[in-house]
Amino acid sequence: MQSVSKELTVRQLYENKQRDFELEILCGHDGLGNTITTPDVNRPGLAFAGYTDYFLWERVQIVGRTEVSYLATLDADRRRTAIERVLDHSLPCVIVAKRLDVPEDLTAGCRERAIPLLRTPISTTPFIHLLTSYLEIELAPEVVVHGTLVDVYGVGLLFMGKSGIGKSECALDLVERGHRLVADDLVRITRRGRGLLIGAGYERARTLQHFMEIRGIGIIDVGSIFGIRATRLQKRVEVQVTLVEWSDKLDYERIGLEDQVTEILGVAIPVVHIPLFPGKNITVISEVVAMNYLLKIRGYHPAKEFDKRLVAMMGGDLDYHSEEDME
């Protein structure tokens, strides 16, 4: 797996969301290269009041009516001191909500320290929700893996295995059976929140997302051949299917009572190892993996149900059809 480092500058925030957030830059243009490192934001009200022990200066600072109203109650010297107390930290930027009038000392302090000062007409609380949601996506941890991601019956199957083992061919067969290709060869996986993995094409190769290399044929365009229904841009990664070469020396899962898991970006997902040998229908097995997963998340575990019935049968607790009933 290849980790991808992510960062977002204030300039990128402004350029990407200027229209949606109706942002305007009041001053601090020289600091637009400041880096935003966390999706969390902070309101500096307590810091203005003098309590800075746990001041989260590394976050984007949101100034709303509460902060502006408090600063307006202070005399000129105390207001200047309160503002300098906050701005003396290396803030990424300050954003004023509700298009409030900005205190002159705040504007002057940001200009002097090259701290970008922006303003939006959106009310404080809705703006915080919008900004946090955007930053969570932009700064979400992500990794790029060599594999193939396919939507099978609504389940995101991530096919893994060594190069040339047949991941792309299996995906192509699934597409022909009505399932949808998300990405082949390079899959970018992003963690949203605590336990959600979203897979998509590698961002730098997004325009090549639905092209596929089939050995012996070359490059094909899945979308053009099978139509728009055969592709999708992203999908939640729910099960990893690892294709491995058959070996008599390896012990493969036979019952499935204990689910095997693997971790991607700290999130545990089920993993199924499928041994390959000539004549084995990997496509149908992949569909069964997806349907079996759907049964499990609905509370029905086939292997455990089999074990339960077997134990009951051994104990004589099951009723059986009479020998004359040929069905």
DSSP code of 266? T
| 7 is an annotated ligand-binding site residue | no
| 167 is an annotated ligand-binding site residue | yes
- 289 touches 241 (CB < 8 A): yes
| 162 is an annotated ligand-binding site residue | yes
- 298, two tokens: 């609905």
| 69 is an annotated ligand-binding site residue | no
Query: For residues 288-327, b (16+ Cβ closer than 10 Å) or e, as one string?
Result: ebbebbeebeeeebebeeeeeeeeeeeeeeeeeeeeeeee
Helix (H) and strand (E) counts for the chain? 10, 18
Q: 134, 114, 181, 120: which is closest to 8 by C-alpha?
A: 134
| 165 is an annotated ligand-binding site residue | yes
Query: For residues 195-212, b (16+ Cβ closer than 10 Å) or e, as one string?
Result: eebbbbbbeeeeebbbbb
What three-state secondary structure class fits 41?
strand
Q: DSSP labels for 197-259?
A: EEEEE-GGGGGGTTEEEETTTEEEEHHHHH-GGGB-SEEE--EEEEEEE--TTS---SS--S-
**Residues labelled catalytic:** 146, 167, 185, 254
| 161 is an annotated ligand-binding site residue | yes
Encoded amino acid at 39, one letter: P
| 168 is an annotated ligand-binding site residue | yes
Q: Residues comprising the binding site for ATP?
A: 161-168
Q: Residues comprising the binding site for Mg(2+)?
A: 168, 213
Q: Residues comprising the binding site?
A: 161-168, 213
